[in-house]
Chain A
Amino acid sequence: DGGITQSPKYLFRKEGQNVTLSCEQNLNHDAMYWYRQDPGQGLRLIYYSQIVNDFQKGDIAEGYSVSREKKESFPLTVTSAQKNPTAFYLCASSIQGRGEQYFGPGTRLTVT
């Protein structure tokens, strides 16, 4: 079955530690996205990538980093510089040039 997987579903970290969230897709989509969701707010774009080895900052990129070494994978690292990392993180992908996005199940990150 084609789709997007994110792991783990729940992640707990201590403050000051970097953590990497996984996102893999087998839809052969060129474009991939990372969003953050906080209570009472719409999804906000962290980073996106339209092609392998290239990515752009979204609206809230500070404190995050990404890589796109393979078409299927777009991992997100939440660094210790991110002031409020506790949130629900969603990965999505789309066919380049078409707007419909397919979402993964999300990872809920809690930093204490």
Chain B
Amino acid sequence: KNEVEQSPQNLTAQEGEFITINCSYSVGISALHWLQQHPGGGIVSLFMLSSGKKKHGRLIATINIQEKHSSLHITASHPRDSAVYICAAAYNTDKLIFGTGTRLQVFP
């Protein structure tokens, strides 16, 4: 059983659109991670957050602890944003439970 659920599984968008990817987790966590996996397979950590909101460039991550829900937003999407976005919940400090990922394709 996977304790982290992501939606949607697949997402297509036109360049410039605002993107939202959702993540729900089942029990209390110490932190929520958002990761990006490019077609070659390498994974990059985008955000780690335990409350509130973080922003980096066109990427924004939010978390609602009471609702056990996090969102990743991409503003002004670009074809280079095409990747798989993965959320992962830390149920203790170092071990993560991963969602199955959201495959995003942004077309020019």
- The reply to whether chain A is a binding partner of chain B is yes
Q: How far is the CB of B15 from chain A (nearest CB, A)?
A: 27
**Docked-complex contact B100 and A100, CB < 8 angstroms:** no
**Docked-complex contact B94 and A31, CB < 8 angstroms:** yes
Which residues of B have CB within 8 Å of A31? 94
Which residues of A have CB within 8 Å of B4? 42
- Chain A interface size band reads 20 to 34
- Chain B interface size band reads 20 to 34
Q: How far is the CA of A97 from the CA of B90 in the complex (A)?
A: 12
* Shortest Cβ distance from A90 into B: residue: B43
Q: How far is the CB of B24 from chain A (nearest CB, A)?
A: 13
The yes or no answer to A111 lying at the interface (CB within 8 A) is no
The 3 A-B pairs with the shortest beta carbon distances in the complex, nearest first, are A42-B98, A103-B43, A106-B41
Q: List 30 A-B contacts (CB under 8 A).
A: A31-B94, A41-B100, A42-B88, A42-B99, A42-B100, A42-B101, A45-B95, A50-B94, A58-B95, A88-B41, A90-B43, A92-B43, A96-B94, A97-B93, A97-B94, A99-B30, A99-B90, A99-B94, A100-B33, A100-B45, A101-B33, A101-B94, A101-B96, A103-B35, A103-B43, A104-B42, A105-B40, A105-B41, A106-B41, A106-B43
